Amino acid sequence: MAKKQKPNKGNTNTRVSNGPKYDPNRKKGVPQNKVNGGVFVYTGSITVSELSKQLGLNPSDIIKYLFLNKKMMVTINSQLDDEVIGELCLNYGYDFKKEKAIEEENFEELEIIDDEKDLVERPPVVVVMGHVDHGKTTLIDTIRSSNIAGGEAGAITQAIGAYQKEILGKKITFLDTPGHEAFTQMRARGAKMTDIAIIVVAADDGVMPQTKEAIDHAKAAGVNIIVAINKIDKPAANIEKVTQELIENGLIPEEYGGEHIFRQVSAKKNIGVQELLETILVVAELSELKANPNRYALGTVVEASLDKNEGAKATILVQNGTLNTGDSVVIGNAYCKVRKMVNEYKKVLKTAGPSTPVVVTGLDEVPQAGDNFMAYADEKVAKEIAYKRKLNAKNKEMKTTSAMSLDDLYGQIKEGEVTNVNIILKADVQGSVEACKGSLEKLSNDEVKINIIRATAGAITLSDVLLASASNAIIYGFNVRPDAAVRAKAAEEKVDIRLHNIIYALIEELEEAMKGMLKPIEKEVVIGQAEVRQIFKASKIGTIAGSYVLEGELKRDCKIRLLRDGIVVYTGKLGSLRRFKDDVAKVATGYECAFTIENFNDIKEGDIAEAYEIQQVARG
């Protein structure tokens, strides 16, 4: 059975065991048309002759069928369109599916299909995550230094962003970036390098905001999670309490019938670290991580830089195949003929197999972390591909790119670019979280899966925006609002935040976006925010809010939304707006003012009044 591995497709860049060989079939337009399990998979218009060959028919059968049934006169060289191809397939007992043709230079979109018999075990790739000060760096250092003592004593190490550790005769590859930066950095190019995330939690501190973030990131990335409860040497360590908190955050230890392995360690005193490493091997073995060492290498850039002496260089992680000195490689958009590659001990390697990180130098430009690379046998082909990629990158730069947005969701679904819609859901109370979540999940269909990666009660925070950016998610807010800083970050990261206060409207909006039916809309534009600093009660007027405009402006008669701790407590209209004793038309940032809200008096100190207008916006 063939085993699929992303990225890449086509069994055409294969190094066979009787020596390196370049497959001349490797040409533009892969994947080629093929019949696969009764389904004819094709990429565009094809001739009668080609179709008859693929379906095992005589061309005259097709010519006759089309003449008798569709009054079409065709020859064996006539091009057939989608409708006719579909009808012919069904008539001859095949299902059919059109796939996007992939240009050779877009190698990250290709899908490598290796034969099961060519696959061998490869080391796991591990990242260490957790809250600040919980001991990530100490753990990484402890693991790394015991490595040096083990085999490479006296060797000068260099930080290359990744390293390998050998234990019980097996290797483990660690990505060196502590924290979820690893995922955030990689997201732009959709890189997936990690197999296992170790989530470090200090036993004397427990689950903290970044622990939760780490859990969300690891879950969204779909990697195996191992929990390392650290600092167990400290008198204040409370393992039971930490375990309980982790359970509340969805990590259930095996002993409790869950699927997550918990290990207790002291990174500082080197207690339990060996067991942790052995656990990694066990998880890796269960995951059956495999690759085919007998093909040209492909993988991902871990980090890259411009060195004063060595020029453009990159640490790359080989994910499949074997990289050899002498290979021609396209790394991101850069071309490189591998003259020399070294590991983190500056040891020169002649070959680098699956899961091996190596530094290569002599690139013609600096790629970015998360870029894919692919090795080629033919120098000319590699150079041409790098050249085309540079051109494509320039063209792309011209158009601004953005993360997932509801407005272009349908287009992306239609193009087959989107099959998973990631959603972060924030609502005022747990009850609404559950209600929205249930309804949203029901929108999943055969083509598109709704994937709720975070659903919690509370305001929309910076951490939500970062997770959305890292996982290309849309944020839905129900009766909650982002503050100015969060909105600014979302704009910078091009994260789409959708705010609603009627569940039905929220669901309908997403449903319509999925069907490409979003109507031209009235868009809400926030024009300013003011903080309530003092409350006055006047018997005739009601509650007057002495306030300070933090951002934008407040305008007479504008719509207003009152927020308390990021949660909407009232939506209505501004009553009066005054500076000193005078009614004014507007008050700008940095000025004090007093306002009332029409028909509403329950204003409190510390509340935020958000002023907004409804504008008509044509959908782009």
Please pick, from the candidates 268, 337, 388, 390, the single residue that binds ligand GDP as defined by CB under 6 A.
268
Amino acid at 614: I
Of the pair 98, 234, the CB lying nearest ligand GDP is at 234
Choose the binding region for ligand GDP from 213-221, 227-235, 391-399, 564-572 (rule: CB under 6 A). Answer: 227-235
230 binds ligand GDP (CB under 6 A): yes
Residue 170 or 268 with smaller CB distance to ligand GDP: 268
- Considering the rule CB under 6 A, would residue 137 count as an interface residue with ligand GDP? yes
Give the shortest CB-127-to-ligand GDP separation in angstroms.
13
Dihedral angle at the C-alpha atoms of 34, 36, 38, 44, nearest 10 degrees? -40
Residue 574, SS3? strand
- CA distances for 422 relative to 339, 430, 452, 469, 476, angstroms: 42, 20, 6, 11, 11
Phi, psi of 423, deg, nearest 5: -130, 135
Footprint (CB under 6 A) of ligand GDP, residues 162-181: 178
CA pseudo-torsion sign 184, 185, 189, 192: negative
Is residue 270 a contact point for ligand GDP (CB under 6 A)?
no
CB of 160 to ligand GDP, least distance (A): 19
The answer to whether 136 contacts ligand GDP (rule: CB under 6 A) is yes
- 133 is a contact residue toward ligand GDP (CB under 6 A): yes
Residue choice 165, 231, 454, 561 for contact with ligand GDP (CB under 6 A): 231
Q: How far is CA 332 from CA 92, 106, 364, 484, in A?
A: 44, 10, 11, 36
Shortest gap between Cβ of 216 and ligand GDP (angstroms)?
A: 18
- Site size for ligand GDP (CB under 6 A): 16
Determine if 234 is a binding residue for ligand GDP (CB under 6 A): yes
Q: How far is the CB of 399 from ligand GDP (least distance, A)?
A: 39
Cα 519-520-526 angle, rounded to 5 deg: 120
Q: Taking the complex as a whole, how short is the minimal distance between the CB of residue 115 and ligand GDP, in angstroms? A: 42
Q: What are phi and psi of 376, to 5 degrees?
A: -130, 155
- Return the number of the residue (81 or 133) whose C-beta is nearest ligand GDP: 133
Of 141 and 565, nearer to ligand GDP (C-beta) is 141
Between 130 and 353, CB nearer to ligand GDP: 130
- Min dist CB 451 to ligand GDP, Å, is 29
Q: Which of 5, 138, 300, 543 binds ligand GDP (CB under 6 A)?
A: 138
Q: What are phi and psi of 76, to 5 degrees?
A: -70, -15
DSSP 557: T
- Cβ 140 vs Cβ 248: under 8 Å: no
Residue 240, number of CB atoms within 10 A of its CB:
9
Which span sits near ligand GDP by CB under 6 A: 88-96, 230-238, 398-406, 468-476? Answer: 230-238
Structure tokens at 525: 């534009």
Q: Which stretch binds ligand GDP (CB under 6 A): 263-271, 307-315, 459-467, 511-519?
A: 263-271
Three-class DSSP category at 393: helix
* Smallest distance from ligand GDP to CB 548, Å: 37
Q: Which is nearer to ligand GDP, 178 or 321 (CB)?
A: 178
Q: Which is nearer to ligand GDP, 137 or 571 (CB)?
A: 137
267: contact with ligand GDP by CB under 6 A:
yes
Does the footprint of ligand GDP cover residue 187 (CB under 6 A)? no
**Which 561-600 residues touch ligand GDP, going by CB under 6 A?**
none
Q: How far is CA 348 from CA 76, 257, 351, 527, in A?
A: 57, 47, 9, 60
When binding is defined by CB under 6 A, the residue of 2, 16, 90, 132 that contacts ligand GDP is 132
Stretch that binds ligand GDP, among 59-67, 114-122, 147-155, 264-272 (CB under 6 A): 264-272
Residue 470 binds to ligand GDP (criterion: CB under 6 A): no
390 near ligand GDP, judged by CB under 6 A: no
Q: Verify binding: residue 266, ligand GDP, rule CB under 6 A.
A: yes
CB of 141 to ligand GDP, least distance (A): 7
CA 367 centroid distance within chain: 19
Touching ligand GDP, residues 310-339 (CB under 6 A): none
Closest approach, Cβ 327 to ligand GDP, in A, equals 36
Residue with tokens 């955050």: 249
Tokens read off for 194: 């990690």
Residues 6+ apart with CB under 8 A from 134: 200, 201, 202, 205, 208, 211, 230, 231
Sheet holding 224-230, edge to edge: 162-167, 170-175, 125-130, 196-202, 224-230, 261-264
Least separation in angstroms between CB 138 and ligand GDP: 3
Kindly report the backbone phi and psi dihedral angles of residue 352, in degrees, each rounded to the nearest multiple of 5, phi listed first: -140, 115
b/e map 64-80, b = 16+ CB within 10 Å: ebbeeeeeeebeeebeb
**Which has the closest alpha carbon to 573: 519, 533, 520, 611?**
611
Contacting positions for ligand GDP (CB under 6 A): 130, 132-138, 178, 230-231, 233-234, 266-268
